[in-house]
Every structure is written in structure tokens, then in C-alpha cells.
Amino acid sequence: MISEQLDKIREEALKQIKGSDGLEKLNEIRVNFLGKKGELTSILKSMKDVAPEDRPKVGQLVNETREAIEKVLEETKNKMEAAARDAKLKAEVIDVTLPAKKNKVGHCHPNTIALEEVERIFTGMGYEVVEGPEVEKDYYNFEALNIPADHPAKDEQDTFYINGDLLLRTQTSSTQVHEMEKGKLPIKMIAPGRVFRADEVDATHSPSFHQVEGLVIDKNVTFADLKGTLAEFAKQLFGPETKTKFRPHHFPFTEPSAEMDVSCFKCGGKGCRFCKGEGWIEILGCGMVHPHVLEMSGIDPNEYTGFAFGVGLERIALLKYEIDDMRLLYENDIRFLNQF
Ligand SMILES: [Zn+2]
């Protein structure tokens, strides 16, 4: 009898639904009983064997069975989904009393901090920050700076040559020449950048380091302007009590030339271990731009004068942070870098 068959199917379906362990299994049961090839459908297909007058009755029974199975399927499915949601919420519970995870934020390298400080000071005085090429022609690195081929300064700066004419710049002074050649006057610029020398690595030397070059060219620029500018720079960098001292020196591209010392910011000039008892610390080289250098770049030295200076960026970083070995700046040891 069809009604008995239907009861059996319903019973079996409900039993399987009760015993199912997940949504996947539930779907399988749905397909097996209600699907196109499912058991209920096969009964509908056998309706042709049922007497026509009984068909509506059988049809109704089939529908009731289908509805009953669907109802239980749906309820079970909802229960399973709710349980899964609860489990997920429990697993993801947030304890708002726990301390937050700290993001590790990096910070600038001591060299970069020093550079930003130097740039801040000079842009504050109206200087422009310009960049020049690291691979340079011999002319820009030496000749245009009054260092001809046979000049001893060329030996002092052991140079990485790429070929006879191209080299890795040994000083940022080459950027001066590029700026002067542009013919736009006055000039008031600093040029920070990497420079290269064939030096062995030790506590104070590296084959690659950084300089900041400065250049001012205008009418009536004097040595007093140079002194005033660099004294102000030293005060802003090392503190308002900082005194400056200029010692005569020689550079091929400036005349007169000087080296500038600053009073030791550790002992105030009395002499300590930091300044090796001197009370003074050498900080940079400077001078009035040599008339020949101006001429070579097409500037009339009778009309214009200027001053230039060059400071080692590492030197500033080492002094400011009291680091005694330059190698520490390049090793990138996180235990060292974390301190700044
Ligand atoms: Zn000192």
C-alpha cells in the first residue's frame, strides 16, 4: 500500500535526520528523500499504477509526507546553524580587560634623524635642498672644484673610478657645480647625499658615508655671513650656549678656507673625555668660494661672491648621540638602533 510506504519513508527520513551530525549530512538526506531521484519522487512516478479516483488522495498523502520531512529538515538545520554560531562566538570572545597588543612601530635611523635636523635648520634660514648624482664625471668631482689632475688632493681622496672619466663622487661639493652651471643666481642651497672613498672600514672610516654640502652665492656675501650662518647652525644643532671657532685651513675650492670647531657640548669647553681635553670639537670645513671655481661655472667673481661648507652627517650623528664607533651606524643591529 502506498500509504504504508509513505509512512515508512517518513519514519526512515526522520530517523536519519535525528541521527545526522551536520549540515552536509542533512543535505544528503534531503536529496535522498525529496530530490529528483529521491524516494518520494519515485512514489509520485508510480502514480500511474494508482486508480484514477484514488490519485488525489495519494497525491495529498505524498505532499503531507514531503511537508513533514521538510519541516523537520528545516528545524534541524536552523538548530545546527544556531549551535555553530554560538560555538563560533564563544571561540571568538573578546576579553576587553586584556592589555592591547602593541604594534611595533619603527623609527628613523640616527643618520636620517641627523639629516632631518640639518635640513630643518637650513630650510629655516631659507636654503633649498638639492640633490646631485652619485655617479659623477671627474670634471664635476675634481676639476670644476679647482682640483686639477695632478693636484695632491686627488690622492687624498682615494676614488672609486668606474672608468677614466666616471667615478663615484668623493664629495657632495660636485652638486655645487651643477647648481652654479644652471646660471640661476642667487644660490642658497644645501646638498645632502652619499659619497664614496676607497677607505678601509674602521671606527671613523667607511667606503660610503654622507655629507651635507652648503653653498651661498650672491652679491656682497662675505666671510662674516659665513661665520654668522655656521654659528647659528651650531647653536641650533648643539644648543644655544655653543661657541664656534674658525681655524685657517686649506681646501682647493675655497679661499680663504677654515675649519670650524664648536665648544664641547658635554663640558661647555672646560675639557673632558668626550672632547679629549680640548674643550673644542672639529665639526666642518668651510670657506669663501674660490674665484676660479666661480669663473669655471660661468659666474663673474667681480660681481658675485659666496661661501661653501661641508659637514659629515655621520659625524653629527656620532656627536649628538655620543656614539664612538661609526660602524654601528651601518651594521643595522636592532639592539643598537632601538636606542634612538
Ligand atoms: Zn668636553
Last residue of a domain, one of 91, 121, 145: 91
Annotated binding site for Mg(2+): 255
The CA 184 to ligand 1 mean position distance, Å, reads 43
Residue 102 belongs to a domain:
no
The CA 320 to ligand 1 mean position distance, Å, reads 13
The CA 201 to ligand 1 mean position distance, Å, reads 26
Cα 236 to Cα 263: distance, rounded to the nearest angstrom: 13
Residue 230 belongs to a domain:
yes
Enumerate residues with CB within 5 Å of ligand 1 (an ion).
264, 266-267, 272, 274-275
Do 198 and 296 belong to one domain?
yes
Last residue of a domain, one of 60, 91, 122: 91
User: What is the reported pLDDT for 156?
Assistant: 60
The CA 61 to ligand 1 mean position distance, Å, reads 105
Cα 116 to Cα 264: distance, rounded to the nearest angstrom: 22
CB 292 within 8 A of CB 324: no
Do 176 and 241 belong to one domain?
yes
The CA 281 to ligand 1 mean position distance, Å, reads 8
Do 135 and 237 belong to one domain?
yes
The CA 260 to ligand 1 mean position distance, Å, reads 16
Do 156 and 218 belong to one domain?
yes
**How confident is the prediction along the chain (340 residues), in pLDDT tens digits per residue?**
777 888 888 888 889 888 888 888 888 888 888 888 888 888 777 777 778 888 888 888 888 888 888 999 999 999 999 988 998 888 888 888 888 888 888 888 999 999 999 999 999 999 999 999 999 999 999 999 999 888 776 766 688 999 888 999 999 999 999 999 998 999 999 999 999 998 888 888 899 999 999 999 999 999 999 999 999 999 999 999 999 999 999 999 999 999 999 999 888 889 998 888 999 999 999 999 999 999 999 999 999 999 999 999 999 999 888 888 889 999 888 888 888 8
CB 206 within 8 A of CB 291: no
Do 152 and 275 belong to one domain?
yes
Residue 103 belongs to a domain:
no
Do 114 and 230 belong to one domain?
yes
The half-sphere exposure of 131 on its side-chain side, counting CA atoms within 13 A, is 6
CB 28 within 8 A of CB 19: no
The CA 71 to ligand 1 mean position distance, Å, reads 90
Cα 220 to Cα 99: distance, rounded to the nearest angstrom: 64
The CA 336 to ligand 1 mean position distance, Å, reads 24
User: What is the reported pLDDT for 41?
Assistant: 81
User: What is the reported pLDDT for 5?
Assistant: 83
Tell me the three cell numbers of residue 278. 680640548
User: What is the reported pLDDT for 196?
Assistant: 94
User: What is the reported pLDDT for 97?
Assistant: 85
User: What is the reported pLDDT for 105?
Assistant: 81
Do 60 and 125 belong to one domain?
no
Residue 270 belongs to a domain:
yes
Q: Which residues contact 121 (CB under 8 A, 6 or more apart)?
A: 232, 233, 236, 237
Domain of 316, in residue numbers: 110-337
Annotated binding site: 255
Structurally, how many domains does the chain consist of? Answer: 2
Q: What DSSP line would sit under 177-244, residue for residue?
A: HHHHHTT-SSEEEEEEEEEE-----SSS--SEEEEEEEEEEETT--HHHHHHHHHHHHHHHH-TT--E
Residue 105 belongs to a domain:
no
Do 164 and 249 belong to one domain?
yes
Do 22 and 114 belong to one domain?
no
Cα 137 to Cα 161: distance, rounded to the nearest angstrom: 10
The CA 266 to ligand 1 mean position distance, Å, reads 5
The CA 311 to ligand 1 mean position distance, Å, reads 20
Which residue bears the cell 680663504? 256
Q: What DSSP line would sit under 97-117, residue for residue?
A: TSPPPPP------HHHHHHHH
Do 320 and 209 belong to one domain?
yes
Do 77 and 122 belong to one domain?
no
Do 202 and 119 belong to one domain?
yes
User: What is the reported pLDDT for 133?
Assistant: 96
Angle at 335 between CA 330 and CA 339, to 5 degrees: 90
